[in-house]
């Protein structure tokens, strides 16, 4: 095919999948853990020996994701955290990484513990501050990785990916971007200079809150990527065949889901922004957001389905607000078809500085007026 096709077409057709033998347009669920050898003792299908090191069931999902990110190769993992761990396991002791001081709590917490054990130094930067990013990268002679998560979770800071790539490369480091929140439909970090993109495919890529999965996508096969490929092959944090087929099915509708969730989120952000019971809204789509200009440059087609807002009142009043919700579900996670809301201060330790009156909202694809009505009745104090 000569004319490049759009992400919606790649996703809907699972990258033109047609089974060569049966003509099926959905890949068969292949649950075999082992693969036969021929009479000369060679694998019947090159590369297929044992399902922990290579598995035909996730190849197609990896192909779709690599094309959506405009990358060379994608690797699926058993979870987003397993994908992150595979990246860090390839570092030697004495390495140094540059991480945002405010980010998805699971990544912050795991990297802090792991790097301490493995004698890997961490320098932190303020994710909304280019001066701080530059200073952290240039603080020491050696830099191995620079990590970016934008918009960040749950404070919704915006980091300039293009600038981070320039600074990382000037220091001889790789830039790795957690692209879970925007998805490749809104931001393609590899096109902005990143070397590796990471996803919790548990979130918008699968989109139905029924699969735990992670992914890495590379721009090209640099030596570090080869170490990651070996790491998954040998340590074996692979996705199960069933989860891979669920993910491939989920990704067929990712374009529609992300479009609708972004539209809903934009409406809800404007509604909350003018609400008398709301102190502030953290959403990069609002012109009042300090990262709006950078977000407009590096996000296309929407500002995502995730936001946080601050209730006028204390912790007790904030918990009372979510207690009054009838349609929105009080649960962690994001990127699903159903809207979820979470009081992050109850989850993260106080040191992360998440305000007690902050609620994180992961907007789904429901009728937006229903969501707005529920939020409005919950925000109004009861007499």
Least Cα distance to 370 among 325, 336, 332, 330 occurs for 325
Whole-angstrom Cα distance, residue 320 to residue 381?
A: 9
Q: Is the dihedral of CA 183, 81, 110, 71 positive or negative?
A: negative
Does the annotation mark 312 as catalytic?
A: no
Does the annotation mark 104 as catalytic?
A: yes
Q: What is the DSSP letter of 313?
A: S
Shortest Cβ 17–ligand PLP spacing (Å): 24
Question: Which residue's CB is nearer to ligand PLP, number 50 or number 242?
Answer: 242
Residue with tokens 């074996």: 236
Shortest Cβ 141–ligand PLP spacing (Å): 29
Whole-angstrom Cα distance, residue 232 to residue 197?
A: 16
Whole-angstrom Cα distance, residue 85 to residue 27?
A: 29
Shortest Cβ 81–ligand PLP spacing (Å): 4
Contacts with ligand PLP by CB under 6 A lie at: 79-81, 104, 106-107, 149, 153, 178, 180-181, 200, 202-203, 212, 214, 334
Whole-angstrom Cα distance, residue 307 to residue 282?
A: 6
Half-sphere exposure of 16 (CA within 13 A, CB side): 6
Question: Which residue's CB is nearer to ligand PLP, number 190 or number 216?
Answer: 216
Question: Which residue's CB is nearer to ligand PLP, number 341 or number 379?
Answer: 341
Q: Determine phi and psi for 382, rounding to 5 degrees.
A: -80, 145
Does the annotation mark 257 as catalytic?
A: no
Write down how long the chain is.
383
Least Cα distance to 152 among 352, 372, 301, 287 occurs for 352
Select which of 13, 52, 252, 312 is catalytic: 52
Question: Which residue's CB is nearer to ligand PLP, number 202 or number 240?
Answer: 202
Shortest Cβ 379–ligand PLP spacing (Å): 25
Select which of 203, 219, 257, 260 is catalytic: 203
State which residue has the least CB distance to ligand PLP: 80
Residue with tokens 């950078």: 294
Question: Which residue's CB is nearer to ligand PLP, number 104 or number 309?
Answer: 104
Cα→Cα distances 329→188, 334, 362, 371, Å: 30, 11, 10, 11
Does the annotation mark 243 as catalytic?
A: no
Select which of 63, 67, 96, 104 is catalytic: 104
Question: Which residue's CB is nearer to ligand PLP, number 132 or number 333?
Answer: 333
Shortest Cβ 156–ligand PLP spacing (Å): 12
Is the Cβ–Cβ distance between 164 and 298 less than 8 Å? no
Shortest Cβ 76–ligand PLP spacing (Å): 11
Is the Cβ–Cβ distance between 98 and 260 less than 8 Å? no
Select which of 15, 144, 160, 178 is catalytic: 178
Alpha-carbon 324 to chain mean position: 30
Tell me the catalytic residues: 52, 104, 178, 203
């Amino acid at each position: 095919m000569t004319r490049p096709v759009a992400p919606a077409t790649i996703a809907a057709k699972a990258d033109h999948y047609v089974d060569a033998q049966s003509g099926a347009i959905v890949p068969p669920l292949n649950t075999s853990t082992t693969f036969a050898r021929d009479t000369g003792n060679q694998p019947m299908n090159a590369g297929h020996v044992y399902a922990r090191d290579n598995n035909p069931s996730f190849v197609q999902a990896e192909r779709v994701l690599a094309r959506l990110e405009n990358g060379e190769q994608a690797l699926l993992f058993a979870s987003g955290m397993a994908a992150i761990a595979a990246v860090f396991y390839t570092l030697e002791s004495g390495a140094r990484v540059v991480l945002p001081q405010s980010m998805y709590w699971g990544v912050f917490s795991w990297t802090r513990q792991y790097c301490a054990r493995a004698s890997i130094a961490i320098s932190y930067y303020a994710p909304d501050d280019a001066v701080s990013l530059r200073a952290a990268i240039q603080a020491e002679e050696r830099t191995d990785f620079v990590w970016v998560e934008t918009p960040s979770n749950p404070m919704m800071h915006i980091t300039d990916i293009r600038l981070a790539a320039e600074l990382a490369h000037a220091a001889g480091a790789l830039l790795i971007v957690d692209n879970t929140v925007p998805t490749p439909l809104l931001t393609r970090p590899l096109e902005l200079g990143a070397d590796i993109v990471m996803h919790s495919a548990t979130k918008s890529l699968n989109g139905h809150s029924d699969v735990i999965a992670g992914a890495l996508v590379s721009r090209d096969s640099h030596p570090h990527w080869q170490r990651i490929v070996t790491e998954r092959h040998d340590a074996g944090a692979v996705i199960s065949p069933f989860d891979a087929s669920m993910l491939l099915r989920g990704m067929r509708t990712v374009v529609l889901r992300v479009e609708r969730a972004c539209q809903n989120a934009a409406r809800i952000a404007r509604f909350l922004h003018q609400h008398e019971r709301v102190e502030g809204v953290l959403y990069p789509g609002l012109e009042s957001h300090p990262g709006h200009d950078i977000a407009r440059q590096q996000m296309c087609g929407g500002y995502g389905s995730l936001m946080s807002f601050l209730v006028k009142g204390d912790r007790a009043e904030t918990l009372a607000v979510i207690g009054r919700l009838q349609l929105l579900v009080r649960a962690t996670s994001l990127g699903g078809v159903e809207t979820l809301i979470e009081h992050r201060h109850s989850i993260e330790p106080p040191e992360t500085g998440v305000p007690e009156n902050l609620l994180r909202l992961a907007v789904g694809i429901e009728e937006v007026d229903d969501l707005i009505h529920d939020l409005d009745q919950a925000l109004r104090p009861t007499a």
